[in-house]
Chain A
């Protein structure tokens, strides 16, 4: 079973990298970019076949390692095909 975990900075946490990217987009001529926030994407392959169990495991992984919940949010997406 395949899954994706998106880790993004919480609102209100300064993201200097996102700001720099925003500036770079502007200087490349992309107008109208209101804001950019940089995050991380993890692609995970699981042996687990039960979606509920898989989701629970992924939540644990996110909390324990993949995201630092002081500054980051995470979202688990399960590929249930």
Chain B
């Protein structure tokens, strides 16, 4: 019998986020009352964040394999073969709740966590991106959160030394009390030198490496699975502080250690730190783990077993080392000035045994801690299928130039330069396409290959029709990779939703997953890693369903890449794809026509068409027959055209469709479309090739001048739209200047 000086009361159980039936499960499993430390361990392992208990059933339906997939979901990150014996390792993960409570540190530690996931597997990080979603601009906390999150993301990535090359920034009232910080990282490794968390061998030393353990983030993982109430300010002490300097040392030490052959298994200490990492290592390897907490390097005196097991102090790693190489390993730790200690060993009894001061503080069955976690088939209601909107029902603008200018200056549409200029996007010297285009491209060290990265989701589409929204998020990623010339490889998903115990929210989740699955199967675009963030609610109101997708594509030669910028005057502009003028759920409808609560259908995604059009565009890009390519998404054709013009400093003259209402043609958000430019003399052949491939291609106009002209009408000055596009965000942030 393990001494337990704290009585386990129903209140204590509830405080640990465990439901009465879940506690009963614990009693049945261990046949006695747990100690406080054990209760803490169960709460960490069985909360939503670690156990995926509400989502697992649905996540299983996603395709996770493919000819290039080396490792799918279940490890620290997904691994995909990119040829020549190399692999790209990537994942996206949320740090939403901590970022709302303390924006700077919350975002910083989010970036730190995802970088660790990547280098734990043996990869040197080569790219970071992030999808950020904030409340409406007028909300009193929004500016403070934007400023803190951006500084936190930049502060960590810049110091660590990874280029932050893209992502998303959006504003919506549903995020007023619950911002989203989804951090993506990718790293490069040799395909035959990937490191996993599975421990192998009995009686081997378990080594702790990195920063000392403090009382940071005790119950962070539980917090990440709790709804916010009015008193969430009180949760401040649980937020961790990031130290990118230590993380950089940890990276170099880990890579050096891995190269020495000393590492048998490695796992980073993320959510619920020591508990999750040790259990995972043991359980995966069918081994027990014994830890002596007196050996754990601590930053504070008198830490209890409970605190040590649940601490979320950052920049820490756990590994199983080859005892024959212990001396060599020690020299590396000392060189990098990192704390390390042998804190335990692997055993053959499948127990998770925790000792402190010579006493047993926890003694639990290690496999069951993970395997026997509750799993729910939550009731769900599918949302009613929305009806398409007739463009004729949407008011037309008087002055199309004025509307375009306003659209380009909307919070969701304006330039994000203010954000990405705070990120070092050039470090490592391999940035081939930086932030601001369709996808960012990084040259693989020493070339000639290139890797393309993008993050996308359109939450308003997901809210209106979860399944169509899920498909669209994946399709837009695929399209963005295609638009730079890359072959789409695989995705990571970061599923942000409200409270899954509500059937309508669960319905959103199920719908989005189904849509993601549809698109992944149709586009041969498997999911190799991911993260689920539920309970994103404040006072009972959920966020827009936001299944953010991160995607990676491959260029055989980075020189094949193409950017959105117009390159020369007098070039032909061709529209790929069919334009029906779909205004349902469009930016025009919401922000210009002011229909914020419209229930109409989002643009449908025809995945076969998506694939056909995209494959054609990619082939043309790779053959060097295009000079600029841009996918058409938020804001439609005219916004895409304006973005190409602003990027290239060159105007264009175009001819709108003769049949559709002008605003439907200009701002409709039909899918599977691209704008492509090429030298005038090659346009005819290009359109003919498209025709042969069954791809709709329409000559739209010609580049040149300093203005955009529609059908010879009133010219729209590039200077004017560029000023509007560039100024909204800096002006907004300056208006509330603060630290």
Contact = CB atoms under 8 A, between A and B. Distances in A.
- Direct contact, A vs B (beta carbon within 8 Å): yes
B1 interface: no
A80 B519 CA distance: 73
A20 interface: yes
A11 interface: no
B282 to A, nearest CB: 41
Contacts of A24: 737-739
A21 B738 CA distance: 7
A23 interface: yes
A35 interface: no
Interface string A27-60: 1000000000000000000000000000000000
Contacts of A23: 737-738
Interface string B726-739: 00000000001111
Contacts of B736: 27
A24 to B, nearest CB: 5
Contacts of A17: 739
A18 to B, nearest CB: 11
A23 B736 CA distance: 10
Contacts of B739: 17, 20-21, 24
A23 B737 CA distance: 8
A24 B738 CA distance: 6
A77 B739 CA distance: 30
Contacts, number: 13
The main secondary structure of chain B at its interface with chain A is loop
Nearest to B736: A27
A21 B736 CA distance: 13
A17 B738 CA distance: 10
Interface in B680-739: 736-739
A29 to B, nearest CB: 14
B144 to A, nearest CB: 11
A27 B736 CA distance: 9
Nearest to A28: B738
Contacts of A20: 737-739
Nearest to A20: B739
B554 to A, nearest CB: 44
B141 to A, nearest CB: 15
Nearest to A27: B738
B115 to A, nearest CB: 28
B103 to A, nearest CB: 16
A20 B738 CA distance: 7
B624 to A, nearest CB: 48
Nearest to A24: B738
A68 B736 CA distance: 32
A13 B513 CA distance: 57
A20 B733 CA distance: 14
A20 B739 CA distance: 7
A24 B739 CA distance: 8
Nearest to A23: B737
A23 B739 CA distance: 9
A21 B737 CA distance: 10
A20 B737 CA distance: 8
Nearest to B738: A24
Nearest to A21: B739
A27 B739 CA distance: 12
B28 to A, nearest CB: 52
A57 B727 CA distance: 53
A60 to B, nearest CB: 24
Contacts of B738: 20, 23-24, 27
A63 B307 CA distance: 41
B61 to A, nearest CB: 50
B104 to A, nearest CB: 15
A27 B737 CA distance: 9
A44 B279 CA distance: 41
A36 B354 CA distance: 51
Contacts of B737: 20, 23-24, 27
A15 B564 CA distance: 41
A57 B523 CA distance: 69
Nearest to B737: A23
A20 B151 CA distance: 16
A17 B739 CA distance: 8
B615 to A, nearest CB: 52
A24 B737 CA distance: 7
A45 to B, nearest CB: 15
A32 B736 CA distance: 20
Interface string B234-268: 00000000000000000000000000000000000
A27 B143 CA distance: 14
A46 B658 CA distance: 84
A36 to B, nearest CB: 11
A17 to B, nearest CB: 8
Interface string B629-655: 000000000000000000000000000
A55 B736 CA distance: 44
A27 B144 CA distance: 14
A15 to B, nearest CB: 13
The 5 closest A-B pairs by CB, nearest first: A24-B738, A20-B739, A24-B739, A23-B737, A21-B739
Interface of B: 736-739
5 contacts: A20-B737, A20-B738, A23-B737, A27-B736, A27-B737
Given A20-B738, A27-B738, 11 more contacts: A17-B739, A20-B737, A20-B739, A21-B739, A23-B737, A23-B738, A24-B737, A24-B738, A24-B739, A27-B736, A27-B737
